[in-house]
Amino acid sequence: MEFPKCPHCKNGVLIPFSSGKAFSEGTYPITYDIWTCTNDECQYHIYCRGTKAIYAKGEEE
């Protein structure tokens, strides 16, 4: 499987994770709801909260 390049640092790739709370938006199941950059210095990540995608860089909530 080929993963997308990180749009923030351009060095790492985004890898998928699942919180175990997979859900469906319409007819398409969303299996991976968290994507994070493999570059430790970057910390860029994308996650889903309900139907909204949240983009963040190294921020704790």
The ranges assigned to domains in the chain are 1-19+28-33
pLDDT at 24 over 60: no
| DSSP letters for 1-61 | -PPPBPTTTSSSBEEEE--S--EEETTEEE---EEEES-TTT-EEEEEETTEEEEEES---
pLDDT band at residue 15 using 50, 70 and 90 as cut-offs: very high
In sequence order, what are the residues at sequence separation of 6 or more whose Cβ sits closer than 8 angstroms to the Cβ of residue 29?
Answer: 22, 23
> Using only C-alpha atoms, what is the Rg of the chain?
12
CB 46 within 8 A of CB 60: no
The whole model's pTM is what?
A: 0.70
